[in-house]
Amino acid sequence: MAPINAFEVNGSKDFSPAKKTLPEVELENGNGSSAKRQKDKRSPGIFFDIFIDVTRDRQSEKEKEIEREKGDSLRERGYSYETLLETANYLLSRTSIRPQIGIICGSGMGSYWKEGSLAENIEDAERFPYEEIPNFPVSTVEGHHGQLVFGKISGAPVVAMQGRFHYYEGYPLWKCCLPVRVMKLLGVQTLIATNAAGGLNPEFRVGDLMIVKDHINMMGFAGNNPLHGPNDERFGPRFPPMSKAYDYEFRNIAKEVAKELKIDDIVREGVYTCLGGPNFETVAELNMLKLVGCDAVGMSTVHEVITARHCNMKVFGMSLITNECVVCYNSDEANHEEVLDVGRMRQEVLRKYLSTLVKRFAQLSSAEVQP
């Protein structure tokens, strides 16, 4: 079949936007009266002067209101670059670690930062409780400890978020992602975002690890995006692309490492989606998500990845499948305890897999900066 040519759709090959003329419009001047109407009302003498004064007063009130709204929206929208720089400098002045890789621990997965687990791999660990860090939100979810851990994994300098922020905790998306921008200002080039997620792909089993290939930004469809509002070019461009959000090379390395560690039978790849939570999904919602190509569903990560890509960080995403999504009405219901339990049960595998990945990603980054 011949391809459809947009210019021939209406039977005319002469669709040239440059040739089109626009109908004349009467421009409003911002206070409800058009320039034309104002001109019509012009009449000499005192009435005209009063009219002009009132219009001017109304205009300056309007301008003030716009200024006020701008201020409010900026406060609501997020901290300035300078404020986040203060946060980064606070941390940098208290640790000698200069992290190259940032890690966000998913629900229940932060526990592998405790003794007997990845904590032993984070050498020279220095911990900063969120409540002590200027401008930082605090973690309110069970399974999220609420501290930043600086140190080294296999020799690579890292900073790990032991506890992330979710939209359902009441934080706007930009605030959930504030630590990602702080990481950027700390010098982090690579973000590893992990999460606990429900498996939608019928081939997935509880305890599987899913390398995130792509995401579907469901909250973005409703206009909720961490980059919503004024854009600061110092972080990144107004319209960042997202078609290569999850680094291709990292994904290949993760598959290779899975084979080397002989865990490739539990390592999958797929598409993640995030809903706002905090309720788990209905059966109809889960069926819809399956239908549109989602392999796993959670309540995080997507907005963090968008923020990281906006400021040009490379991203690796990994989901631990903590429960099979209930796609019929007589199955067991999802619950947070199960999510945390599976995190605990997979602790050792996650520790080994992630620490090997950190080492390989760091080697790749150093090779890239070599002349």
Q: Which pair of tokens denotes residue 72?
A: 């409010």
Binding residue (CB under 6 A) for ligand HPA from 178, 192, 299, 305: 299
Element (H, E) at 57: helix 46-77
Annotation marks residue 196 as catalytic: yes
- Nearer to ligand HPA by Cβ, of 91 and 320: the residue is 320
> Per the residue annotation, which of 111, 319, 323, 355 is the catalytic one?
323
Binding residue (CB under 6 A) for ligand R1P from 102, 106, 270, 317: 106
Three-state DSSP at 124 gives strand
Choose the contact partner of 166 out of ligand R1P, ligand HPA, none; CB within 5 to 8 A by kind.
Answer: ligand R1P
Binding residue (CB under 6 A) for ligand HPA from 95, 201, 301, 322: 322
CB closest to ligand HPA, residue no: 198
Annotation marks residue 111 as catalytic: no
Choose the contact partner of 228 out of ligand HPA, ligand R1P, none; CB within 5 to 8 A by kind.
Answer: none
What string marks each residue from 163 to 182 as x (binds ligand R1P by CB under 6 A) or -?
-x-x----------------
Three-state DSSP at 197 gives strand
Distance separating alpha carbons of residues 327 and 294, to the nearest angstrom: 13
Q: Is residue 298 a contact point for ligand HPA (CB under 6 A)?
A: yes
Distance separating alpha carbons of residues 105 and 250, to the nearest angstrom: 18
Choose the contact partner of 87 out of ligand HPA, ligand R1P, none; CB within 5 to 8 A by kind.
Answer: none
Binding residue (CB under 6 A) for ligand HPA from 153, 306, 339, 354: 339
Q: Is residue 217 a contact point for ligand R1P (CB under 6 A)?
A: no
Binding residue (CB under 6 A) for ligand R1P from 213, 336, 352, 359: 336
Annotation marks residue 10 as catalytic: no
- Nearer to ligand HPA by Cβ, of 105 and 297: the residue is 297
Annotation marks residue 323 as catalytic: yes
To the nearest 10°, report the CA torsion of 7, 11, 13, 18. Answer: -60
> Per the residue annotation, which of 196, 254, 258, 313 is the catalytic one?
196
Three-state DSSP at 23 gives coil
- Nearer to ligand R1P by Cβ, of 164 and 351: the residue is 164
Q: Are 176 and 206 in contact (CB under 8 A)?
A: no
Distance separating alpha carbons of residues 79 and 90, to the nearest angstrom: 15
Annotation marks residue 166 as catalytic: yes
Map tokens 């040739």 to a residue: 19
Q: Are 143 and 83 in contact (CB under 8 A)?
A: no
Q: Which pair of tokens denotes residue 356?
A: 């090997």
Longest dimension (CA), the chain: 91
CB closest to ligand R1P, residue no: 106
CA distances from 265 to 101, 109, 203, 246, 248 (A): 27, 20, 12, 22, 20
Annotation marks residue 300 as catalytic: yes
In the range 168-207, which residues lie near ligand HPA by CB under 6 A?
196-198
* β-sheet bridge partners, residue 190: 101, 314
Annotation marks residue 5 as catalytic: no
Nearest C-alpha neighbor of 190 from the set 347, 363, 8: 363
Q: Which pair of tokens denotes residue 369?
A: 């900066």
List residues near ligand R1P by CB under 6 A. 106-107, 141, 164, 166, 195-196, 277, 298-300, 336, 339
The residues annotated with a catalytic role in the active site are 107, 144, 166, 168-169, 196, 299-300, 323, 336
